[in-house]
A = this chain, B = another copy of it.
Amino acid sequence: MDEKVMLGHGSGGSMMKRIIDEVFFEAYAGDELLAGNDAAVLSIPEGSRLSFSTDSFVVTPHFFPGGDIGRLAVCGTVNDVATSGAKPLYLSCGFILEEGYPIADLKRICASMAEVAKEAGVRIVTGDTKVVNRGHGDGVFINTSGVGVLTPGVNLGGQYCQPGDKVLVSGTLGDHGITIMSQREALSFFADIESDAAPLNHLIANVLEAAPDVRCFRDPTRGGLASTLNELASQANVDITVDEERVPVKDAVRGACEMLGYDVFQVANEGKMVCVVPADQADAALAAMRASTYGQDAAIIGEVSASTEGRGNKVYLRTAFGSTRVLDMLVGEQLPRIC
């Protein structure tokens, strides 16, 4: 086996066949991939609608406590597809490799993808490999796209949030962003923080069963909770108010944010879900989250209200001191290449 990625691995010829056989098929071959055609042919249940989403992953470093770029790539798209209420079934996977990247690292990434895909219950059914010259990429970029199926009657979306609804988050904020930052800057005193990267499709299914009138799910990745809530407020033409004291944040993450000047509400998460539900189903949704593998720290953190006339759709934070401030969408860039 080759030790490094070479331009020929992206050639369409016999070297590409070799990397496909020895790396990708070895990690996650299924019938569709092994068939060797240009597109995968897939069955779906009668009467389904599709949910379709895509994400590219450019995180650096590629390996970090709690995960790696491969785990992120599978979880990110699984979670995006699942936010619609769909059951994610199939993933595509496109690699853009840089000449010289160690094949051993690529194998480790693929093994991680296979493992978390299995946990999520999705299959990688089609793929693509490109190689760029040394100095024109950054080791490995991954695109995953995902297809899921939606049962009739499930219609979720930010536009459905209504005054009176409750806002839930499935766990602690900021773990992923602070982990990446501490790795990048080699801040070893944050050694006990790790990324939350996780597939949340089972958690979402559990919540939907317990609270069938959920308005929407949204994963607060880049831009953090602040950007996610601002998007929802804008989509639904409402205000949202969050109680700072009710938002779960690990002490180490809170400490890191204070020391480094980050707003934890703008830090990226990769294994958390925001959920808006009618008030009378909030407790049921919370219980379903807490009973799920990745939802033990879930909390009801705020509520939706009618938009204040003439002031746009605002997100407010009621602070621990009793004051209220506007929680703005992230402007510019806080932590580049977080996912």
Which residues of A does B touch, CB under 8 Å?
6-8, 10-17, 35-44, 46-58, 79-81, 83-84, 86, 90, 92-96, 125-128, 130-133, 135-138, 141, 143, 145-148, 150, 155-159, 216, 218-219, 221-224, 227, 231, 235, 266, 268, 329-334, 336-337
Measured between C-beta atoms, what is the minimum distance from A336 to chain B in Å? Answer: 5
Are B51 and A16 touching (Cβ within 8 A)? no
Q: Nearest chain-B residue to A157 (Cβ)? A: B37
| A136: contacting residue among B93, B138, B146, CB under 8 A | B138
Contacts A13-B223, A14-B330, A329-B14 given; indicate if A133 touches B50 (C-beta within 8 A): no
* Chain B hits for A130, CB < 8 A: 56-58, 141, 337
Measured between C-beta atoms, what is the minimum distance from A245 to chain B in Å? Answer: 25
Measured between C-beta atoms, what is the minimum distance from A313 to chain B in Å? Answer: 13
C-alpha gap A145/B52 in the complex (Å): 10
* Chain B hits for A90, CB < 8 A: 50, 52
Are A86 and B49 touching (Cβ within 8 A)? no
Contacts A15-B333, A133-B336, A266-B13 given; indicate if A38 touches B128 (C-beta within 8 A): no
Contacts A17-B329, A36-B231, A336-B7 given; indicate if A145 touches B92 (C-beta within 8 A): yes
* Chain B hits for A218, CB < 8 A: 37-38
Measured between C-beta atoms, what is the minimum distance from A330 to chain B in Å? Answer: 3
Centre residue among A57, A58, A81, A157 by max chain B CB count within 10 A: A58
Q: Nearest chain-B residue to A266 (Cβ)? A: B13
* Chain B hits for A83, CB < 8 A: 37-39
Centre residue among A55, A79, A145, A155 by max chain B CB count within 10 A: A145
| A219: contacting residue among B38, B132, B334, CB under 8 A | B38
Are A96 and B96 touching (Cβ within 8 A)? yes
| A10: contacting residue among B15, B16, B222, CB under 8 A | B222
Q: Nearest chain-B residue to A36 (Cβ)? A: B235
| A11: contacting residue among B36, B150, B333, CB under 8 A | B333
Are A221 and B12 touching (Cβ within 8 A)? yes
Contacts A41-B50, A94-B54 given; indicate if A15 touches B222 (C-beta within 8 A): no
Are B51 and A331 touching (Cβ within 8 A)? no
Are A54 and B145 touching (Cβ within 8 A)? yes
Are A336 and B10 touching (Cβ within 8 A)? yes
Centre residue among A96, A132, A138, A336 by max chain B CB count within 10 A: A336
Are B93 and A38 touching (Cβ within 8 A)? no
Q: Nearest chain-B residue to A85 (Cβ)? A: B41
Measured between C-beta atoms, what is the minimum distance from A135 to chain B in Å? Answer: 8
C-alpha gap A80/B143 in the complex (Å): 17
| A53: contacting residue among B38, B86, B133, B141, CB under 8 A | B38
Measured between C-beta atoms, what is the minimum distance from A180 to chain B in Å? Answer: 14
Q: Nearest chain-B residue to A56 (Cβ)? A: B94
* Chain B hits for A336, CB < 8 A: 7, 10-11, 131-133
* Chain B hits for A131, CB < 8 A: 336
C-alpha gap A227/B14 in the complex (Å): 8
